[in-house]
Amino acid sequence: MKQYDVIAIGELNVDLILNGIERDIEIGKEIFAKDMLLTLGSSTAIFAANTSSLGAKVGFVGMIGKDSFGQLVKDSLISKGVSTDFIIETDKYATGVTVGMNYGEERAMVTHQGPMDVMTFDDIDLSVFESTKHIHISSVFFQAGLKNDLVKILKYATEKGITTSLDVQWDPSEEWDFDYKAILPWVTVFIPNETEITLLTHSKTLEEAIEKVKPLINICAIKQGNKGSLLLQKDGTTHFLNSFLNSEVVDAIGAGDSFNSGFIFQFTKGGNPKECQYFGNLMGAINTTSAGGTGAFSSKMNIEKVCKEKFGQNIKL
Ligand SMILES: Nc1ncnc2c1ncn2[C@@H]1O[C@H](COP(=O)(O)OP(=O)(O)O)[C@@H](O)[C@H]1O
Ligand SMILES: [Mg+2]
């Protein structure tokens, strides 16, 4: 018996979100924002929190500074039932932070990566690989050290009999420098969105991207926003599943991370790829019924209730 079902390896930061900003920012001037929120940020943290809320035993590997933002990150993860035992604390860097300035539907963001950028394979406590069934890696373009060591980590996990999943997420440099040919064969479940997989493979269309990754993947689920998702398998079969339509979307922040939670939660419970895809679509949809990435995942009971009332789906967690 392993102690954890899933260990997430990824970025950690706080989000400082400013709302009700009176006008556009101007260099050299100070303006007011009516509201602000200081909260746990990070796509990988949303994944970890929601996978834990679904009932999996989840741990986190990431690097933070020895500072109050680092403490906020740890307290927030613990409050979601995510173990922080493998989190690495450094006094060389300040904990990562994203400052988000909301202007209606539009948002400007500035991120200080801090230690997330320097963490490498050598920083990871090797007992991680002994204590989990599955490793999920995300947001590689925010983490240069981790990106360099991806094959090393994935190979090591495979040798230890652990399954893996990868969501690359957006590349802020938009260079998409990523050796997918070397990396994808080592990934059990690859979970990009349709834009990311197209850019990552330097393709003009999604179809071209699919042709390129087909010979490399084991299981791949491509997220397609409010359309749904497309499942590709090693044997060449594909399966498109419509999204669960939500006519009252609050916001789609974290929908992709919640899709990952649903998919990987089912996967670690032994679900077949189509069952995993169904759960992914459902959790992506549930995500859109509340504000932010974790709002709809307050408890198993709430998740089951929203599934039934909003989407007519009976699930038992
Ligand atoms: N408006 C929506 N209504 C219902 N389901 C949605 C909606 N937006 C996203 N989803 C579900 O969440 C999944 C992930 O969302 P997507 O936006 O594609 O991911 P990402 O955030 O990584 O770009 C989709 O595949 C879909 O199943
Ligand atoms: Mg995403």
- For the stretch 179-227, pLDDT in tens is 999 999 999 999 999 999 999 999 999 999 999 999 999 999 999 999 9
How far does CA 83 lie from the centroid of its chain? 17
Which tens digit of pLDDT belongs to each residue from 125-149?
999 999 999 999 999 999 999 999 9
pTM, full prediction = 0.96
State in Å: Cα 259 to ligand 2 middle.
9
Residue 226 Cβ inside 6 Å of ligand 1? The answer reads: yes
Give the model's pLDDT for residue 50: 97
| Nearest Cα to Cα of residue 75 among 39, 99, 50 | 39
Residue 205 CA to residue 154 CA, distance in Å, equals 28
In a domain, 316, yes or no: no
Closest C-alpha residue for ligand 1 atom 2: 226
Q: Which residue has the tokens 């997220």?
A: 223
State in Å: Cα 63 to ligand 1 middle.
28
Tally of CA atoms within 13 A in the half-sphere of 193 that contains its CB:
19
Q: How confident is the model at residue 286 (pLDDT cuts 50, 70, 90)?
A: very high
List the CATH number of the domain containing 122.
3.40.1190.20
- What is the tally of structural domains in the chain? 1
Which tens digit of pLDDT belongs to each residue from 25-51?
999 999 999 999 999 999 999 999 999
State in Å: Cα 31 to ligand 2 middle.
32
Closest C-alpha residue for ligand 1 atom 21: 256
Mean pLDDT over each residue of the chain, to the nearest integer: 96
Residue 83 Cβ inside 6 Å of ligand 1? The answer reads: no
| Nearest Cα to Cα of residue 249 among 229, 283, 226, 278 | 226
Domain carrying residue 265: 4-311
Residue 138 Cβ inside 6 Å of ligand 1? The answer reads: no
In a domain, 36, yes or no: yes
Average pLDDT, stretch 227-231? 98
Residue 97 CA to residue 70 CA, distance in Å, equals 10
Residue 65 Cβ inside 6 Å of ligand 1? The answer reads: no
Residue 252 Cβ inside 6 Å of ligand 1? The answer reads: yes
| 61 neighbors 9 (Cβ within 8 angstroms) | yes
Residue 178 has pLDDT above 80, yes or no: yes
73: Cβ–Cβ under 8 A, 6 or more apart, which residues?
12, 13, 14, 40, 42, 45, 64, 87, 95
In a domain, 317, yes or no: no
Residue 18 CA to residue 32 CA, distance in Å, equals 9
- Cα angle 292-146-217, degrees, rounded to a multiple of 5: 80
Choose which residue among 140, 168, 169, 193 to substitute to test ligand 1 binding: the one with the highest number of ligand atoms within 8 A of its C-beta: 193
Residue 161, SS3 per DSSP: coil
What's the helix, strand, coil split of the chain in %, to 5? 40, 25, 35
Determine if residue 312 is left, alpha or beta; phi over 0 gives left, psi from -120 to 50 gives alpha, anything else beta.
left
Nearest atom in ligand 1 to 284's CA: 12
Give the model's pLDDT for residue 107: 86
Give the model's pLDDT for residue 20: 93
| 181 neighbors 189 (Cβ within 8 angstroms) | no
